[in-house]
A and B are shown apart, each in its own frame.
Chain A
Amino acid sequence: MSGWLSPEEWTAVRLSLIVATTAMLASLPFGLAVAWLLARGRFWGKSILDAVVHLPLIMPPVVTGYLLLIWFGRRGPVGQFLYEYFGIVLSFRWTGAVLASAVMGFPLMVRAIRLSIEAVDRKLEDAAGTLGANRAWVFLVVTLPLCLPGILVGMILCFAKAMGEFGATITFVSNIPGETQTLPSAIYTFTQVPNGDAGAMRLTLISIAISVIALFVSEWLARLVGRRIAVE
């Protein structure tokens, strides 16, 4: 494989996989929490939270990237805080690419998980309560397993979005080979140079392959889980 791809191309593929996987895993706890709040919470500002979460889905990705740059850049309010207290730098680093793709994938993840939480039969949770389980246990042993298919779908969607994220990433962290140059950025770069067609085509094929594999894995997992949770 490394003979077929140039080292730079190989780096872009590996970086993309790392960025997408990290984005998916890091946003999972937040995705679960927000999906839970939106599905079950009753509080002032719920519709505002809903709108904010969905914003990256509707806004042009470049706008999202630019807002990230303003807030999370070295001189941005959040970026400055993170740097001073934790030594974390996001702008022009691969971690920034993770943040950008996580923000873009977040609404997709929340949507899928929220729908599956809403589909869980509250009566089963009541039944678990009468059997002695407190709310935390009910969530862990009843609600969570029952919305597992939705969680898996949400994770795959987030991963796929992160793999393909371009606009926000390139705006926020630029296109630095080896640091922030993910697959889409690398393909874009190839299209900007003479004789880049072959490289762009190779990376395009790899992109397609990863997407198809992700799709099959999600189908397979959903079927595996679905068979265990036969509808009563």
Chain B
Amino acid sequence: MSPVIEIMVRHRLGTFELDASFASAGRLTALFGRSGSGKTSLVNIIGGLIAPAQGRVVVDGKVLVDTQARVFVPKHKRRIGYVFQEARLFPHLSVRQNLLFGRWFSRSDARASSDFPSVLDLLGIGHLLERRPGGLSGGEKQRVAIGRALLANPRLLLMDEPLASLDEARKAEILPYIERLRDEIGVPIVFVSHSVAEVTRLATTLVTLDQGHVTAGGPTAEVMSRLDVAGLSGVAEAGSIIEARIAGHDEDYNLTRLETRAGTLQVSRSAMPTGAPVRVRILASDVLISLGPPVGVSALNILPGTIVGIGARGPTGAVELLIDCGGENLLARLTAKSVDALALAPGSAVYAVIKSVSIEGP
């Protein structure tokens, strides 16, 4: 599969230096990093709001920027939809006029991917058409903004932390729509986020940024479990993602059994039907390590595995371990003292005792 997006840029903004390159063929590529890591600058370069000092941007086979060949396609000719953090709806236009804004300017070719009724239906905004943006809730505004970008018939959709300004309830309201967007519409998405939960749930490809540089890139589960990335994602949130399938429900104990490559997991009863694919997230701080098969432990989920990597000791004295459990990567966080006491080293066979598993979505 040829990459949907290829980018290689060098740009200076004051004292901040962006020097980033990555390529992605994923349906939803997440740019992930702390605030100030250069995520927004990068999408602004893709969208044409910033002209990079040096570099090349190719989207869907079309060269948008090539400083060597002196190519710079202006933003209104790029056909790149941009959903901003604040919805940026036009206050003097109705929701309908906002949605159709891009239509006035896009040529009539290749509109099949996003006709008006199906976008209304996809985003659940059909009842808002005659209202003005001023009267909409934050979640409604953001959905209209997504629809507006989509109806301009873009070759790529950029989303710059579209959920950051919303409260938890509104986020939960929007997330399923973004999932449908990713799975049902053929437009690839680049999604900026600093939230592990969002990235875990949405991204197919993950690119991590730190201080203007790309630190990792690849399929989400793979990147998430890398030790250097775990440290980067913030002390509290490091963890791993495992692809699973619902194997059945245990009605007596109100539990759901999940089948994974690493073994069976049991979680509290999920509403999803048997056979449905899900992603689960296990926080590194929720994993204990035992050298022998543990007995008399309350934890339901114990997976055998082999240590494949031990990270550097962090500033708080914590050490992160990467454990290979039947092909799935599991991240565990222990104190440096425990690592020494158990004499853990790459190659050690261990049992991972998992205190808590959460289902992150399909």
Contacts and interface: CB of A to CB of B under 8 A. Distances in A.
Contacts of B82: 127, 130
B22 to A, nearest CB: 21
A123 B102 contact: no
Given A130-B47, A132-B102, A142 B76 contact: no
Contact of A132 (B79, B88, B90, B92): B79
Interface string B17-57: 00000000000000000000000000000011100000000
B162 to A, nearest CB: 13
Interface-central residue, A127, A134, A145, A230, by most chain B CB under 10 Å: A127
Interface stretch (B119-127, B130-138, B196-204, B225-233): B130-138
Interface string B88-115: 1111100000000110111000000000
A229 interface: yes
A124 B75 CA distance: 14
Contact of A146 (B91, B102, B105, B152): B91
A131 B134 contact: no
Sort chain A's interface into a size bin: 20 to 34
Contacts of B177: none
A133 B106 CA distance: 9
Interface in A65-122: 121
Interface-central residue, B49, B78, B92, by most chain A CB under 10 Å: B92
Given A123-B88, A124-B88, A142-B90, A130 B80 contact: yes
A133 B134 contact: no
A228 B47 CA distance: 30
A131 B149 contact: yes
A137 interface: yes
A215 interface: no
Contacts of A137: 105
A129 B76 contact: yes
B148 interface: yes
Contacts, number: 77
A127 B91 contact: no
Interface string B46-88: 0111000000000000000000000000111111111010111
Contacts of A129: 48-49, 74-76
A122 to B, nearest CB: 10
Contacts of A131: 76, 81, 101-102, 105, 148-149, 152
A174 to B, nearest CB: 46
A224 to B, nearest CB: 12
A133 B133 contact: no
A231 B89 CA distance: 11
A120 to B, nearest CB: 11
Interface-central residue, A129, A228, A231, by most chain B CB under 10 Å: A129
Contacts of A146: 91-92
A130 B80 CA distance: 6
B91 A231 contact: yes
A63 to B, nearest CB: 42
Contacts of A145: 92
Interface in A174-232: 228-232
A126 interface: yes
A133 B76 contact: yes
Contacts of B48: 129-130
Contact of A127 (B79, B84, B104, B132): B84
A128 interface: yes
Contacts of B106: 132
B49 A128 contact: no
B135 A230 contact: yes
B134 to A, nearest CB: 3
A40 B204 CA distance: 42
A137 B79 CA distance: 16
Nearest to B88: A127
Nearest to A130: B82
A98 B299 CA distance: 89
B135 A132 contact: no
Interface in B131-155: 132-135, 141, 148-149, 152
Nearest to A131: B102
A129 to B, nearest CB: 4
A124 B89 CA distance: 7
Interface-central residue, A128, A130, A142, A229, by most chain B CB under 10 Å: A130
A228 B84 CA distance: 23
B105 A132 contact: yes
Contacts of A126: 49, 75, 88
A130 B156 CA distance: 11
Nearest to A142: B90
A98 B132 CA distance: 41
13 contacts: A123-B88, A129-B74, A130-B78, A130-B81, A131-B149, A132-B77, A133-B105, A142-B90, A145-B92, A230-B132, A230-B135, A232-B87, A232-B134
Given A126-B88, A132-B106, A228-B132, 13 more contacts: A126-B75, A129-B49, A129-B74, A131-B76, A132-B77, A132-B104, A132-B152, A133-B101, A142-B90, A229-B92, A231-B91, A231-B134, A232-B89
The 6 closest A-B pairs by CB, nearest first: A132-B105, A230-B134, A131-B102, A130-B82, A127-B88, A129-B75
Interface of A: 121, 123-124, 126-134, 137, 141-142, 145-146, 228-232
Interface of B: 47-49, 74-82, 84, 86-92, 101-102, 104-106, 132-135, 141, 148-149, 152
